[in-house]
Amino acid sequence: YVAKGFVLFNAGNYGASLESLTHARSINRYLEEDPEFLYRYALDYYMLGDWRKALFYLEVLDRKDIYGKYKDHTNYYLSLIYLQSKNYADAKRRIELLRESGGIIYDLLYSQLWLFQDFLERYKDYFYNYKKGLTDIGWVYLNKVYSLPALLGLYYYSIKEKKVEDKDLLSKGNIVALEEIKVENIKVDLKPLFLSVREAYNSIDPYSKSGSFLLELYQVNKDSYKTLFGMEKLARFVVYEGRLDFKSIVEEVNEPLRSFLLGQVMLIEGEEKGLKLIKDSLRGLEGEDKQEAMVILYLYDKDVKGLEQMLNLLEKSKRLNEYLSLVYLELGDYYYKNKDHRKAKEYYKNYLEREEEDSSLSR
């Protein structure tokens, strides 16, 4: 059963390996004195997500492995378990032990520490130059999968601080969509790293000036940007800012958003057929996309009733609020031409107040 368990472990079949090794352990309790057995038994539990039992057997392994054959692996996995359970004092102790050995195992652990911002903040004096460390690791393993955790960390910090970290490295280091990295039975789960970077990215509003950072980040490494984030948010910013020099980006998003955004680009360029694209996209749109499409169509059709029905929504929506000036002016013109001077005056007044407010904000 031990031999079978070891073979299954080496094949990555951790569930079957654990079953065989557990059976072997029930027959021979002295196996718990054997580092070779303990190493595989502990890692079976870790790989299957049972951190409590993994922690127990890794700590037993730490005591029984008197020659230190598996000390780096033990310190790596114990560091991660302690970090995830917020036992930061023991995590730091294990990281310091692993640092003494150095090498790829330490580099891979160090490259994941940005996931644990509370930990880095607590020991900021020890990790005072953490971002530089990520950069160094990124260069050492450039264009190897081992650079991915460090590169993802640099993207995370770039997004959080709205400032690209080491453009030269990020332009050369390509992001590959992998779920995990394995080396010497060291497993790096990349899923939480990708998730954390994308969550930071999702906090950026493409309908604001801060969205300009998206374009800056895209230009550093277009392929990595697409792999990490897709093109939807960037396409929205391109249309919002009227950046016609980047209109090809709009072509890369899926329908119906593609027609909706491309229609707006055409209208900016003075092509009336953009209206047809927006109309065609309307049925598939939802939420504020659909509402914005309706406002655009109402404005071009001079649909007064439709515009008045949208007023309350426009006043409450941060994104659609920017259409208010155009809507007030359109309604003012309509009522002026139809000699309803009271309503015309009301809408013109709203228009002027809105313009004055926008002007003061832009100063």
Regarding whether 243 and 213 lie in a shared domain, the answer is yes
129-161 residues labelled b (16+ CB within 10 A) or e (exposed)? ebbebbbebbeebeeeebbbbbbbbbbbbbbee
For residue 307, the surrounding DSSP H or E stretch is helix 304-316
Which residues form the domain of 256?
204-285
If we measure between CA atoms, which residue out of 74, 37, 43 comes closest to residue 59? Answer: 74
Regarding whether 321 and 261 lie in a shared domain, the answer is no
Q: Is the peptide bond before 256 cis (omega within 30 degrees of 0)?
A: yes
Q: Six-digit token pair at 205?
A: 């509003």
Regarding whether 306 and 263 lie in a shared domain, the answer is no
Regarding whether 358 and 309 lie in a shared domain, the answer is yes
Residues 6+ apart with CB under 8 A from 312: none
Question: Helices H, strands E: what count in the chain?
Answer: 21, 2
Regarding whether 305 and 280 lie in a shared domain, the answer is no
Select from 260, 285, 310 the last residue of a domain: 285
Rounded Cα distance, 53 and 41, in Å? 10
Please report whether residue 337 resides in a domain: yes
Please report whether residue 139 resides in a domain: no
Please report whether residue 265 resides in a domain: yes
Pairing of strands 180-183, 186-189: antiparallel
Please report whether residue 291 resides in a domain: no
Tens digits of per-residue pLDDT, 30-87?
Answer: 888 889 889 998 999 998 989 899 999 999 999 998 999 999 999 999 999 999 999 9
Regarding whether 280 and 208 lie in a shared domain, the answer is yes
Indicate the number of domains in the chain: 2
Regarding whether 208 and 281 lie in a shared domain, the answer is yes
Please report whether residue 329 resides in a domain: yes
Please report whether residue 328 resides in a domain: yes
361 falls in which pLDDT band (50, 70, 90)? Answer: low
Q: Can you tell me whether residue 204 is helix, strand or coil?
A: coil
Q: Is the pLDDT of residue 358 over 80?
A: no
Rounded Cα distance, 84 and 77, in Å? 11
Regarding whether 351 and 315 lie in a shared domain, the answer is yes
Tens digits of per-residue pLDDT, 252-289?
Answer: 999 999 999 999 999 999 998 999 999 999 999 999 99
Torsion of CA 127, 200, 143, 224, to 10 degrees: -160
Contact yes or no for 275/297 (Cβ under 8 A)? yes
Mean pLDDT to the nearest integer, 333-358: 91
Regarding whether 256 and 221 lie in a shared domain, the answer is yes
360 falls in which pLDDT band (50, 70, 90)? Answer: low
Rounded Cα distance, 344 and 338, in Å? 9
Mean pLDDT to the nearest integer, 159-179: 95
Neighbours of 197 (CB within 10 A): 25
Select from 285, 312, 345 the last residue of a domain: 285
Rounded Cα distance, 338 and 33, in Å? 95
